[in-house]
Amino acid sequence: MEPVLSIQDVAFRWPGQSAPSVAIPALELRAGERVFVSGPSGSGKSTLLNLIAGVLVPQQGEIVVQHTALRKLSAAQRDRHRAEHIGIIFQQLNLLPYLSVNDNVLLGCRFSRQRRERALAQGPTIGDAAEMLLGRLNLDASLWQRPAAQLSVGQQQRVAAARALLGRPRLVLADEPTSALDADRQSAFMSLLMRECEAAGASLVFVSHDMRLASRFDMQFTMPATGEERP
């Protein structure tokens, strides 16, 4: 089985730096596998996710996502590839506060025909598929038409997860998604996220400082020490 994600000899440095901010000899993730990424602040965890997503391009090495080498793509092609194959749960969630819960969840599918087609395998319509995910993530139907700004942090976390999972992406990237949750809500969110990734057959790259979560994952990856933090 070919890996969903393969990283080989990757190095990335921010402008003005002499040493890499991220230097990874090898990392590989196959379909359905889940990796917990840890490391101190400034070790490049969020930068790594941006490299995997194709937002940033390494100066050295190769990142292959879903059989495609990202360095060979233009910026527009990387954007399209990300929309088609990757779901992202941002640390700040990045929901549009004035849009309804439903509209926030549907955003990803508006940028990718492939995601829209795969979403139709999750429900009779894309809207039905979004509502199915919200229900499975235990977000009450009374909230689905509310603006995202009116939800609690925990509720917004579940909306962000539904948006990332709609259309069954091959790879989900999560950047400290539980950092604002208390222990009980954190545990519940993690259980829901793991269950939905498994249902979608998605691989998961999960960044967190909280080592208590690491036991939930198939593997752990600690960011190697590098010369400089992001400026």
For residue 139, tell me if it sits in a domain. Answer: yes
Which tokens hold the place of 78? 């990387």
Give bridge partners of residue 40 from the DSSP assignment.
none
For residue 213, tell me if it sits in a domain. Answer: yes
For residue 231, tell me if it sits in a domain. Answer: no
What mean pLDDT is predicted for residues 56-74? 95
Question: Domain count of the chain?
Answer: 1
Q: What is the pLDDT of residue 196?
A: 85
Q: How much is the mean pLDDT over the chain?
A: 90
For residue 16, tell me if it sits in a domain. Answer: yes
Which helix (H) or strand (E) element contains residue 11? strand 5-12
56 touches 50 (CB < 8 A): yes
pTM of this structure? 0.91
Q: Which of 54, 44, 39 lies closest to 12, judged by CA?
A: 44
What mean pLDDT is predicted for residues 210-220? 93
Q: What is the pLDDT of residue 166?
A: 92
Q: What is the pLDDT of residue 219?
A: 95
Which tokens hold the place of 31? 């379909």
For residue 228, tell me if it sits in a domain. Answer: no
pLDDT tens for each residue of 85-98: 999 998 777 899 99
Q: What is the pLDDT of residue 158?
A: 87
For residue 153, tell me if it sits in a domain. Answer: yes
89 touches 164 (CB < 8 A): yes
- Cα Rg, the chain, nearest whole Å: 17
What is the domain range of residue 75? 5-222
Contacts of 118 (CB under 8 A, 6+ apart): 167, 168
Question: For position 79, which CATH number holds?
Answer: 3.40.50.300
Q: What is the pLDDT of residue 174?
A: 95
Q: What is the pLDDT of residue 110?
A: 83
Q: What is the pLDDT of residue 231?
A: 56
User: 178: pLDDT confidence band, cut at 50, 70 and 90?
Assistant: confident
For residue 60, tell me if it sits in a domain. Answer: yes
pLDDT above 90 coverage of the chain, percent: 60
Distances (CA, A) of 125 to 45, 160, 162, 190: 36, 20, 15, 27
For residue 230, tell me if it sits in a domain. Answer: no
Q: What is the pLDDT of residue 111?
A: 81
Q: What's the sign of the alpha-carbon dihedral 181, 186, 190, 192? A: negative
